[in-house]
């Protein structure tokens, strides 16, 4: 395990890992709070892997996530951590995908399940998922699951799991509802709270006042024209705002794309992939849709409108300034939102820097993204391999190998950039 951690570049523990891993390895229940991007997936991932019996093809660990994107991200990370041992089978059970292939995979056994509440419940109702041998339960970003109204679903899932288990509850925020849930499902949990705020050294924050709500679109273009970021996530409070803003930005020459709950799963996957591989420079998202977004080099976060709670603001801006890099968070607000500014300043224990939009310079529309994404209709089921695609591009088409980025092979299609 240590050799594998070294091979994937993990040399020093993050604060949440250093604080929680000893308790997790002692098989204690843990309720932990840490800011986004803190490395909590590795903390609970290493914990559940340390107890896994690879020879027993029964579900031994269950990780429940609020969104499909986050579940996929968590699954990928645990697979990387599990490379030190052979034959560990992890299945992702999420909605938006056919249930029949998931049933077939479950029939052949699995060690770890990572999924969303709705689809996990579907399998439990159909009798295709057996949780009687689960020794580790993880609720990841439990605060968001409660915000999304998944309390009853989570409690129903937990009723299928043995009382004698380890329960790990990870949350970016600690509202009263999280504390109440901990009392209901955990036994003498170790309470861990590491630094949940973002240092002004890591993330520079600036707030800009708009005179009227209808001027927000114009203000966003002013921010983009001044700062010229290569990668930006713009947070909106509603799906309608997302779509309208993305459409308006595209009309003005920006490479923008929206992600929200109305998109089909395949569309959501492709949107996130295009943004992650830098063939789209602006992602306009709602809070829920952005859960699971893991971009190491995101330069700017823009708040189109301030969220209702200051801790959601902290979670939003934590998308930038990761992996030792500096980030920039720009927020728009109106006079009626002054109380939100004050709440953010209070929770951060420092005043918010408020600038005026008129101070921004117009440096023009940002340059085109550095990469282009190509989708090829052929994947694993067609026995497509990365070498086949690379050979076709460099041999038959004549591209240089240095022009080709990563190649992702899925079941029925492939992506290269």
Residue 364: inside a domain, yes or no? no
CATH of the domain at 219: 3.40.50.300
C-alpha span between 16 and 415 (Å, rounded): 35
Tell whether 185 and 249 lie within a shared domain: no
Rounded (10°) angle between helices 265-276 and 68-81: 60
Tell whether 218 and 294 lie within a shared domain: yes
Residue 310: inside a domain, yes or no? yes
The SS3 call for residue 115 is strand
Q: Sign of the CA dihedral 131, 134, 140, 146?
A: positive
CB contact set of 190 (below 8 Å; sequence gap of 6+)? 20, 23, 28, 29, 30, 31
Residue 301: inside a domain, yes or no? yes
Residue 338, domain extent: 203-359
Residue 369: inside a domain, yes or no? no
Tell whether 336 and 390 lie within a shared domain: no
The SS3 call for residue 193 is strand
C-alpha span between 343 and 190 (Å, rounded): 29
**pLDDT score at 317:** 86
**Position with higher pLDDT, 57 vs 295:** 57
Q: Taking 70 as the threshold, does the pLDDT of residue 196 lie above it? A: no
DSSP states along 39-58: SHHHHHHHHHHHT--TT--S
Tell whether 87 and 211 lie within a shared domain: no
C-alpha span between 329 and 347 (Å, rounded): 16
Closest by CA to 310, choosing from 205, 168, 191, 190, is: 205
Tell whether 26 and 72 lie within a shared domain: yes
Residue 367: inside a domain, yes or no? no
Tell whether 31 and 171 lie within a shared domain: yes
CB 243 within 8 A of CB 193: no
Q: Taking 90 as the threshold, does the pLDDT of residue 333 lie above it? A: yes
C-alpha span between 355 and 4 (Å, rounded): 47
Residue 323: inside a domain, yes or no? yes
Please state the domain count of the chain.
Answer: 3
Tell whether 344 and 411 lie within a shared domain: no
**Mean pLDDT lowest for which of 234-243, 261-270, 289-298?**
289-298
Let me know if 45 is exposed, middle or buried by CB neighbors in 10 A (0-12, 13-18, 19+).
buried
Q: Taking 70 as the threshold, does the pLDDT of residue 414 lie above it? A: no
Tell whether 155 and 46 lie within a shared domain: yes
CB contact set of 81 (below 8 Å; sequence gap of 6+)? 1, 4, 5, 8, 42, 45, 46, 49
Extract the tokens encoding 70. Answer: 């986050």
Give residue 195's pLDDT band: very low, low, confident or very high (50, 70, 90). low
Tens-digit pLDDT profile for residues 358-407: 999 988 877 788 888 888 888 888 888 888 888 888 887 888 888 888 88
């Amino acid at each position: 395990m240590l050799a594998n951690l070294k091979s994937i570049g993990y040399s020093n523990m993050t604060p949440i890992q250093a604080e929680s891993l000893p308790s997790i390895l002692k098989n204690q229940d843990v309720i932990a709070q840490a800011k986004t991007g803190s490395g909590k997936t590795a903390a609970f991932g290493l914990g559940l892997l340390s107890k896994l019996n690879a020879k027993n093809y029964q579900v031994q660990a269950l990780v429940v996530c609020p969104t499909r994107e986050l579940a996929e991200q968590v699954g990928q990370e645990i697979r990387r951590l599990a490379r030190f041992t052979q034959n560990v089978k992890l299945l992702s059970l999420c909605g938006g995908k056919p249930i029949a292939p998931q049933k077939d995979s479950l029939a052949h056994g699995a060690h770890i399940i990572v999924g969303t509440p709705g689809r996990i419940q579907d399998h439990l109702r159909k009798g295709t998922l057996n949780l009687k041998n689960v020794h580790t339960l993880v609720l990841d970003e439990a605060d968001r699951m409660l915000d999304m109204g998944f309390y009853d679903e989570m409690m129903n899932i937990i009723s299928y799991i043995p009382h004698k288990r380890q329960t790990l509850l990870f949350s970016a925020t600690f509202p009263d509802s999280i504390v109440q849930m901990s009392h209901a499902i955990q036994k003498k949990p170790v309470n861990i709270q590491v630094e949940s705020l973002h240092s002004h050294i890591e993330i520079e924050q600036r707030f800009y006042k708009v005179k009227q709500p209808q001027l927000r679109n114009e203000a966003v273009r002013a921010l983009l024209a001044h700062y010229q970021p290569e990668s930006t996530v713009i947070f909106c409070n509603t799906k309608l705002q997302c779509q309208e803003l993305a459409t308006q930005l595209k009309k003005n020459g920006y490479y923008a794309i929206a992600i929200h709950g109305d998109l089909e799963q395949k569309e959501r996957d492709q949107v996130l992939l295009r943004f992650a591989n830098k063939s789209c420079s602006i992602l306009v998202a709602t809070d829920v849709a952005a859960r699971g977004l893991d971009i190491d080099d995101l330069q700017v976060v823009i708040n189109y409108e301030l969220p209702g709670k200051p801790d959601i603001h902290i979670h939003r801006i934590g998308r930038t300034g990761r992996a030792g890099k500096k980030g920039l968070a720009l927020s728009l607000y109106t006079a009626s939102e002054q109380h939100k500014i004050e709440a953010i300043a209070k929770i951060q224990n420092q005043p918010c820097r408020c600038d005026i939009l008129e101070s921004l310079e117009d440096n023009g529309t940002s340059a085109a993204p550095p990469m282009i994404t190509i989708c090829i209709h052929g994947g694993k089921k067609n026995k497509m391999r990365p070498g086949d695609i690379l050979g076709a591009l460099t041999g038959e088409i004549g591209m240089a190998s240095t022009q080709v980025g990563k190649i992702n092979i899925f079941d029925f299609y492939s992506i290269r950039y």
